[in-house]
């Protein structure tokens, strides 16, 4: 898997680039939680469920179907999130689905059950530059952990930073263009 740090990049970029009354901090917090939520499936190990099972790690919780259902459920709380239901649906889906896509870009494991429940096969993306992350915080303070962080800096954090900057610049440019024109009455003052 990609590390939890890398998974948080996608909702952070969406928040920074699209920040508005609709894409607000509450929605960002929910999206951040959803970006790491698919790894709740590591609990399957505690119950003796095999990694390669559809119920195991990188199984059904890493599917686009799971991301869509979870996003749909979250969109029911759009009022509490002070957002628009479509914005909640889209941001939550992107956050949760991005988890599987990042894991599919790693160089280890068995792949992700991206198309579950329609198929149980595990998939990787054809481009797999991210070093698979060790499980557990202590493992990050090893040589392997440093390799993971280095690959994530290059393939996740740096592109995320560039996308965030581009998004901010576009948002600022659009906000200048969309400012209301002064009326004649305001000019007279």
Burial of 189 (0-12, 13-18, 19+ CB in 10 A): exposed
Q: How far apart are the C-alpha atoms of 80 and 77, rounded to whole Å?
A: 5
Average pLDDT score over residue span 106-110: 91
Query: What distances in angstroms separate CA 91 from CA 11, 109, 134, one per listed residue?
Result: 8, 27, 27
* Residue 101 scores a pLDDT above 60: yes
| Cβ contacts of 129 within 8 Å, gap of 6 or more | 105, 107, 151, 154, 155
Helix (DSSP H) and strand (DSSP E) numbers for the chain: 9, 0
Query: Would you give the distance in Å from CA 59 to the centre of its chain?
Result: 17
Report pLDDT for 24.
Answer: 95
* Residue 183 scores a pLDDT above 60: no
* Residue 138 scores a pLDDT above 90: no
- Confidence band, pLDDT 50/70/90 cuts, at residue 179: low
Whether 116 and 138 have beta carbons less than 8 Å apart is answered as no
Number of domains forming the structure of the chain: 1
Q: Which of 125, 164, 151 is nearest to 2 (CA)?
A: 151
Instruction: State whether residue 181 is helix, strand or coil.
Output: coil
Which of 39-48, 94-103, 113-122, 172-181 has the least mean pLDDT?
A: 172-181
* Residue 187 scores a pLDDT above 60: no
Transcribe 114-135 into DSSP letters.
Answer: TTTTT----B--S---BPPPPS
Which of 5-9, 71-75, 130-134 has the least mean pLDDT?
A: 130-134
Q: How far apart are the C-alpha atoms of 135 and 12, rounded to whole Å?
A: 23
Tell me the residue range of the domain where 112 lies. 4-188
Report pLDDT for 189.
Answer: 56
pTM assigned to the model = 0.86
Question: Six-digit token pair at 89?
Answer: 């649906």
């Amino acid at each position: 898997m990609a590390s939890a740090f890398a998974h948080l990049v996608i909702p952070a970029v969406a928040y920074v680039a699209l920040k508005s009354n609709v894409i607000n901090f509450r929605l960002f917090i929910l999206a951040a939680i959803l970006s790491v939520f698919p790894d709740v499936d590591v609990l399957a190990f505690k119950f003796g469920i095999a990694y390669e099972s559809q119920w195991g790690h990188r199984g059904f919780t890493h599917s686009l179907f799971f991301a869509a259902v979870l996003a749909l459920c979250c969109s029911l709380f759009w009022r509490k999130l002070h957002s628009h239901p479509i914005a909640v649906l889209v941001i939550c889906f992107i956050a949760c689905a991005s988890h599987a896509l990042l894991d599919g870009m790693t160089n280890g494991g068995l792949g992700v059950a991206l198309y579950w429940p329609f198929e149980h096969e595990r998939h990787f993306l054809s481009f797999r530059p991210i070093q698979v992350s060790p499980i557990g915080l202590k493992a990050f303070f090893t040589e392997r952990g440093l390799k993971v962080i280095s690959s994530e800096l290059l393939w996740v954090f740096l592109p995320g930073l560039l996308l965030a900057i581009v998004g901010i610049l576009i948002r600022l440019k659009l906000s200048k263009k969309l400012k209301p024109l002064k009326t004649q009455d305001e000019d007279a003052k």
